[in-house]
Amino acid sequence: MDARGPARRGDVRTAGARGRVAVLPAAALVALLLGGALAGAVRASVTPLGGEPTLAAWRDLLAAPEFRDAVVFTVRTAVLTTVLAAALATALALRVRRAGTVVRTLLALPVPVPHLLVATVAVLWLAPGGLAERAIGALPVTLVRDEHGVGIVLVYLYKEVPFLLVLLLAALGRGHAERDEAAAALGLSPLQRLRWVTWPTIRGPLLLGCVVVFAFVLGAFDVPLAVGPTYPQTIAEYALGATQGDVVTGQSTAAAALLLAAAVSVVLAALAVRAARGLRDA
């Protein structure tokens, strides 16, 4: 029996323990900030301004048809955005993985641009009476204030496809190129290399990136507020409207709505981390 095996496993466990210790301060800070925010939101959801603790805000929220419509609209938009962004980013990454720095930089340019800026430009150009309509006439489709949220999805795709692309191109680095060339030398077809070499390399980053995109879309309100329909609203828009409609109970309603969105995001993040660990150990 090779005595180096247990030693190597011990080195791996030691390195893993050191890595966990290294990220412990950052993890503690994030847990403190997130935990404090969630605790404050929970307190606000059950304690109206100047009132006694009550679950009335939760009961009213879950019974409101407008909130149910907001949940359906938000989840549908988030799922559609995430699926399309993942598909487009994967296809684009496979196409430009051997491209130079200039091409990669140009494709990543939308990443630091604020979402609200993109939404504002979309309204200026694509809204009824906007610059595009003045230049070429009436547009064949409605993108701004569309009841199905087409404009929201397009703005998010412009932002999130480059974000996922950066993650995938980082995974498709030199190590993957060497493995892919070795597989080609062994006679594997492009489809086989995609299935057995490329996909195992990108599925972890793609999964985690999709969770980030889904969670962001689930809780954002600036893009839907700028280009989305008046009704249905997103969950974040519903929460914002609640604070403006009723000064006393609006804060509790908004906190309850955002807590539900946050709970979904936290659950998805936990499932994604667990799945990523399973993929890594597989």
Same domain for 42 and 60, yes or no, is no
pLDDT at 228 over 90: yes
Reading the block at residue 42, the tokens are 């929970």
**Burial grade of 70 (CB within 10 A; 0-12, 13-18, 19 or more):** buried
Over residues 99-108, the pLDDT tens digits come to: 888 999 999 9
Give how many domains the chain has, as a whole number.
2
DSSP for 234-264, written as a single string: PHHHHHHHHHHH-TTTHHHHHHHHHHHHHHH
Over residues 192-209, the pLDDT tens digits come to: 988 898 998 999 999 999
Same domain for 22 and 89, yes or no, is no
User: Nearest to residue 221, comparing CAs of 244, 200, 237, 243?
Assistant: 237
What is the predicted pLDDT for the residue at 1? 46
Same domain for 41 and 71, yes or no, is no
Same domain for 23 and 61, yes or no, is no
Same domain for 114 and 8, yes or no, is no
State which of 122-136, 167-181, 218-232, 265-279 shows the largest mean pLDDT: 218-232
Same domain for 42 and 59, yes or no, is no
Same domain for 61 and 189, yes or no, is yes
pLDDT at 257 over 70: yes
DSSP 111: T
Q: What is the CATH number of the domain that holds 252?
A: 1.10.3720.10
What is the predicted pLDDT for the residue at 12? 47
Residue 134, domain extent:
55-281
User: Nearest to residue 158, comparing CAs of 143, 147, 146?
Assistant: 143
Same domain for 9 and 79, yes or no, is no
Over residues 34-67, the pLDDT tens digits come to: 788 888 888 888 888 767 888 988 999 999 999 9
Residue-averaged pLDDT of the chain: 87
Q: What angle is formed at CA 21 by the lines to CA 15 and CA 25, rounded to 5 degrees?
A: 150
Greater confidence (245 vs 120) lies with 120
Reading the block at residue 16, the tokens are 């893993």
Separation between Cα atoms, residue 122 and residue 149, nearest integer Å: 13
Same domain for 59 and 194, yes or no, is yes
pLDDT at 276 over 60: yes
Separation between Cα atoms, residue 176 and residue 122, nearest integer Å: 38
What is the predicted pLDDT for the residue at 270? 86
Same domain for 90 and 28, yes or no, is no
Same domain for 204 and 276, yes or no, is yes
Same domain for 39 and 65, yes or no, is no
